[in-house]
Amino acid sequence: MRRSPIGSPLWIAFALVFAPGCPGEDDPPLVEADRFGRCASFDPLRQVFWGDLHVHTELSFDANTQGTRTTMADAYAFARGQPIGLQPYEPSGEPSRMAQIDRPLDFVLVSDHAEFLSTLALCRDLSSAAAGDADCVAYRNALELDADPLDVGRFFNRINGRLIAEPTQVSYPALCGPGDSNCLLAGVDVWSDVLRAADAAYDRTDSCQFTTFPGYEWTGGPAARNLHRNVLFKNASVPAAPIGYLDEPFPEGLWRRLDQECLSAGTGCDVLTIPHNSNLSEGIFFDRLGGAPIDDDYAAERAKFEPLIEIYQHKGASECLPGDSISDELCGFEILPFANLAATNLEVFGSPAPRGFLRSAYGEGLARDVRGEVNPFKHGVVAATDTHVSAAGFVNEASFLGHGGAGQANRFTAPEGFPDIEYLSPGGLTAVWAEENAREAVFAALKRKETFGTSGPRMVVRLFGGWDYPDDLCGRGDLPTIGYRDGVPMGGDLGPATSNAPELVVAARRDIAGAPLQRIQIVKGWHDGTDYRVEVFDVAGDRGNAADVDLATCAPRGTGAANLCAVWRDPSFDAAHPTYYYARVLENPTCRWTTQQCVRTGYDCDQPTRPIDQDCCDPVVGLDRRRCAAVDCADPDLLPAPDARCCAPPLEPTIQERAWTSPIWYRP
């Protein structure tokens, strides 16, 4: 379907209002109402805005028991460039560490876990009937300065265990009283605080400096198989309370309630749910929970509510898994060596299931296209941090302080070695192409999937697909105009074929604070009626530019590009095959955060006396593998602990930061 914003009456009207020269006369009044087109910076050809759609504060149960004391207001302030304090806290209440983002974000979703929002509030209310309940007492004990970390861990596992119960067995804790009414009532209060905080931080003036969305996380994980989804509302017209796993343990139940209490409520409410960490689902993420087949009704609901998926965050990447026919040599980026959430927490190594990765889901969707069924897996792409210390958008590898959550809590002592578990990482960012930085426009961009995710840097990527783009489009300043006029942007659906093969035009600009670009790739997936296939094409840049990193200093070596562009025509297109295309943009190699911290601290593997030395000299980290040359990994359980680490899945000391666009789709 072609998009043509240029010819639309709306664009024409705004072009007249915002034509050069007009603002020099009467300045437009500051607009109070939240309506489309209110921002001074409005571009009908859309501009890129950066955000984090996955942030936890002290309101989340896991963050809370880990010592997070930063609030929603802190999260928004951090996103706007203010420093915040991080745990561990001194007895005086002062934080022992400070964090600050390098550049402000444009939008944020604070997505605290819906489950136990109300329970924690109830336990803290010393006058409530639940205050004396054993779980509430244990919770308050767990918050004490001298709490035993083991006790805290046991308590956390006992309560959090409700989130890994099977859907037919979920229940609120007994302290919630008859009909769970105590917790439900307390939850309404907390939810109104969430809405109020989001509203206070949202810039409703025409400066449009910062956008917030109310929301939360639905935290379903039967048998520790991750099925989590973030719920993002367009505005403050929302259901009376967040609908969590304990309320609706099946995703379709969540969608049904959201339909009833939001989409069909007649209040102007709109919502989407963003799944994440399919890599930790043991491969069930794209199935229908409960085992029923995916029929078209279910598929349509899923597609309606879940246009997007989080492809990368603190707990790893979910693009593709190395080793099968649909993978490529770059699929090994930040792959966690764990199969599910519990394995991640307990560091029990195992292979993630291939079906839990997005490229596999895309193929299942194409198979449904072949059969003439509804495709629920046409996900657009976002990335996020999943920070549990309110540090929204804190993605810089060099200054990473840990995100808590599934990672290191840092509650009781400041980290002397790595600030987080070495397999985890800072996470990424979401970029949207929207006319302005306001809820209406950004939400619309999310819904139509004109989004891309990055592994942290802010490289800018534009992707259009059409049937007849001019070959010289990369050299023309009207690239976006032509891109929209003669095709569809990322996330869109190509119309019927009007030429022999589709053409994609992809342009990328490096992050001024990041590394030069190495290349742009187009990942093509198609289903030929029998098999699902994937092929990756280098379309711009130079994979052989020999750029690398001096591991002694993390200084980059070699050259790269400031911006790249290509008009690429599919050389093997078959109009009978459903197909997708997405762009992957790669920077030159840089040091991973673990390497950066080791280099900065001057680690010494000859005399590893400090905790940081021991962390850096751990063979897993990839900086000192020589000591493992003689270790026999046939039976790691029989090895002494230091040698057994030689057999753990190793990390690469360098990475290639990247961006992934939402795919463009073709259906015959």
Partner 1 sequence: MLVRSLAIGAAVFALRVGLRSEDSPRSLRVAVATGASRQQIEAQINEAILLEEARRYGWDHSDPVVFTHLVRNMRFLEPNSPANDRELFEQAVDLGLHGRDPVVRDRLLYRANRALLSVPKAAEPSDVELGVHLQRHRSRFVRAPIVTLRHVYLSRERGKDLRRDATTLDLSAPAPGDPLPGLGLRFVGSSDTLRHRVGDALGDAADTAPLHEWQGPIASAFGLHFLRVEHRREGRVPALSSIREEVRADYLRELRQRLHRQRFAALRRAYTVHVEHRP
> What residues make contact with partner 1 under the rule CB under 8 A?
18, 20-21, 23-24, 27, 30-32, 40-43, 45, 47-48, 73, 91, 103, 121, 124-128, 131-132, 137, 140-141, 144-146, 190, 193, 196, 199-205, 207, 209, 458, 460-462, 474-480, 507-510, 512-513, 561-563, 565
Collapsing DSSP to helix, strand or coil, 85 comes out as strand
The residue among 371 and 476 lying less far from partner 1, judged by its C-beta, is: 476
> Under 8 Å CB-to-CB from 36, ≥6 apart: which residues?
435, 436, 438, 440, 441
Directed axis angle between helix 181-201 and helix 72-79, to 10°? 30
CA distance 433 to 270: 19
The residue among 9 and 91 lying less far from partner 1, judged by its C-beta, is: 91
CB of 16 to partner 1, least distance (A): 14
CB of 274 to partner 1, least distance (A): 23
CB of 376 to partner 1, least distance (A): 31
CB of 449 within 8 A of CB of 432? no
The residue among 383 and 460 lying less far from partner 1, judged by its C-beta, is: 460
CA distance 594 to 571: 41
Token pair for 192: 């109104």
CB of 153 to partner 1, least distance (A): 17
CB of 32 to partner 1, least distance (A): 5
CA distance 285 to 215: 21
Give alpha helix (H) positions in 273-417.
296-305, 341-346, 358-370
Name which of 115, 114, 356, 317 is nearest 226 in CA terms.
356
CA distance 601 to 184: 49
Beta strand extents in 249-318 (DSSP E only): 271-275, 308-313, 316-317
CB of 314 to partner 1, least distance (A): 24
The residue among 201 and 341 lying less far from partner 1, judged by its C-beta, is: 201
Dihedrals phi, psi of 541, to nearest 5 degrees: 90, -160
CB of 541 to partner 1, least distance (A): 11
Rounded to a whole number, what is the distance in angstroms from the first to the last CA of the chain? Answer: 13
Q: Residue 252 gets which letter from DSSP?
A: H
CB of 285 to partner 1, least distance (A): 32
CB of 45 within 8 A of CB of 489? no
Cis peptide before 653 (omega within 30 of 0): no
Collapsing DSSP to helix, strand or coil, 627 comes out as helix
CB of 76 to partner 1, least distance (A): 10
Give alpha helix (H) positions in 592-635.
593-601, 611-616
Q: Residue 354 gets which letter from DSSP?
A: G
